[in-house]
């Protein structure tokens, strides 16, 4: 599991590792199978909504001393476009297509949806006439 944070504490638990650092973002890899992490999840478990037990990201981040990144929609869109491009050219994905994988919706559909979203964001950025 990965978390993306603006800030992190100087000392992370042994089940959390900083993967990448940039000026405004830390990528933290969590070994979610580590017993100490599982124990923490049990401590933080709460009823999120009636009948649903889970852990709130805010509680987990608070315990870790992490301030979560809250990227803009534009940043998320750029990341999604990059990921979809990587998926489209990934050898395993290409192998699936070669062996007959034919989804109802495909990578091109996802790229088109993101393009439409980009157009809408661009349109809303333009000053009103």
Q: List the domain boundaries for the chain.
A: 2-64, 73-124
Q: Is the pLDDT of residue 128 over 80?
A: no
Residue pair 45/55 in contact (Cβ under 8 Å)? The answer is: yes
Place 28 in a pLDDT band, splitting at 50, 70 and 90: confident
Percent of the chain with pLDDT over 90: 27
Q: Is the pLDDT of residue 71 over 90?
A: no
- pTM for this one? 0.48
Distance of CA 76 to the CA centre of its chain: 9
pLDDT of residue 95: 94
Integer CA distances (angstroms), 21 to 2, 98, 117, 120, 121, in order: 13, 37, 29, 31, 28
24-28, 96-100, 115-119: least confident range: 24-28
Q: Is the pLDDT of residue 117 over 60?
A: yes
Residue pair 67/5 in contact (Cβ under 8 Å)? The answer is: yes
Strand-pairing partners, residue 52, are 49
pLDDT of residue 126: 67
């Amino acid at each position: 599991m990965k978390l993306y944070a603006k800030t992190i504490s100087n000392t992370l638990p042994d089940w959390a590792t900083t993967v990448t650092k940039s000026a405004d973002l830390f990528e933290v890899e969590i070994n979610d199978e580590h017993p100490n992490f599982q124990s923490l999840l049990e401590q933080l478990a709460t009823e999120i909504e009636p009948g649903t037990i889970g852990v709130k990201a805010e509680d987990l981040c608070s315990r870790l001393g992490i301030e979560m990144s809250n990227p803009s929609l534009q940043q998320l869109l750029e990341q999604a476009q990059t990921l979809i491009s990587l998926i489209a050219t990934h050898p395993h994905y290409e192998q699936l297509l070669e062996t007959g994988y034919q989804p109802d919706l495909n990578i091109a559909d996802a790229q088109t949806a993101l393009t439409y979203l980009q157009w809408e964001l661009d349109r809303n950025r333009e000053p009103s006439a």
